Structure 1
Amino acid sequence: MTEHPPNPPMEPAAICELMELCMQTSFKFQGEIYEQLKGTPMGSPISGFIAEAVLQKLEKKVLPKIMQKLWLR
């Protein structure tokens, strides 16, 4: 087995460009092709990851201000 060199770190701009590419989706409805402009693509593996990341960021901002006895999600 050969060893591969580690991948160099990605620049934030490259990560953003890849995310934009992953978020692009089009669909055909009654013979017309449409492009989804907002939201995450339905059925895409990246949609769950993005939803989780957004919820975690929201929880970090909101939950410290709330005195909860039990938090379930």
Structure 2
Amino acid sequence: AGRPVIVNPIGGLREQIIDGFNGFYVNCYDVDELAKGIINISEIPKQTLLQMGLKAREDVLKRFCPEERMRKLIRVYESAI
């Protein structure tokens, strides 16, 4: 969506979100930590958030585009042969 996110760094989110680059890690099971994360992101200048969002979008488009996924799949097959 082109916006930095606040996530609990578990599972695949750890691979998709880089803390401070395209989102922020917080322990979402800790209400105080989640509240601090929301407050912290609300204090970041709008321009910085927009830049983070653009980086997030670029990263997703680069890593998850069909062409890139196909190239990776071909490399896996080639290495197995």
TM-score range, shorter chain: 0.3 to 0.5
Which structure has the bigger radius of gyration?
Answer: 1
TM (normalized to structure 1)? 0.33
Higher helix proportion (structure 1 or 2): 2
